[in-house]
Amino acid sequence: MSLAAYGRTKQLVCIVLIALTVFAAACGDRTSTAAGSGPGGQISPNEVSALVDRYISAFNTRDRSTYISLFADGATVEDPLGSLPIKSASLLGAFFDATTSVPLHLELEQDSIRVSGNHVTFRFQLELGAGTSQVATKPVDVLDLDSSGKILSLVAYWKPAELRPVQ
């Protein structure tokens, strides 16, 4: 990938991130709540793997309804860490629409899912593209789940400065 193409792709990604930040600011919710383990029993490892697979698949297939269905009422998304938390199904839907408005592909890193009680982390490859240019990074998402396996909070650990050209 040429340096100019990399620069254009990185500029597009920055524009999307700025739009997401402005959108989150317009929502007016500046609180962040870290959820603990949900009441009741813990989620099984198989249920956690299935949830992470549905999350990854929802982005790759642009399946908004599946994405929203993964979250509990009142869930928060902070993507990336430090951005304003997003709450409510309508705001999660708008976030999903903005995120999937650019070509992207997520691929779960093998054996990266870690579970402690109802807390989950996983790492994946995120590729963003514009035309023939692509950039990538490897975010780590941290989820807190309720007892029914719905996401109470999601915090994504990555930053635009980590984006690198895909060879």
Model confidence pLDDT, tens digit, residues 131-147? 788 999 999 999 999 99
Quick one: pLDDT band at residue 80, thresholds 50, 70, 90?
very high
- Token couple for 118: 């109802």
Range of the domain at 19: 3-165
- Token couple for 64: 């908004």
Domains contained in the chain, number: 1
- pLDDT: which is higher, 124 or 160: 124
- pLDDT: which is higher, 166 or 95: 95
Mean pLDDT of 72-100: 93
Measured CA to CA in angstroms, residue 107 lies from 20, 21, 85, 126, 136 at distances of: 22, 25, 24, 7, 11
Model confidence pLDDT, tens digit, residues 1-40? 555 555 555 555 544 444 444 344 333 333 333 333 334 5
Give the CATH number of the domain where residue 16 resides: 3.10.450.50
pLDDT at position 113 is 97
Mean pLDDT, rounded, of the chain: 82
What is this structure's pTM? 0.75
Write the Ramachandran bin of 88: left for phi over 0, alpha for psi from -120 to 50, otherwise beta: left
pLDDT at position 28 is 37
Model confidence pLDDT, tens digit, residues 97-114? 999 999 999 999 999 999
pLDDT at position 19 is 44
Mean pLDDT of 149-155: 97
Count Cβ neighbours within 10 Å for each residue of 12-31 and write b for 16 or more, e otherwise: bbeebbeebeebbeebeeee
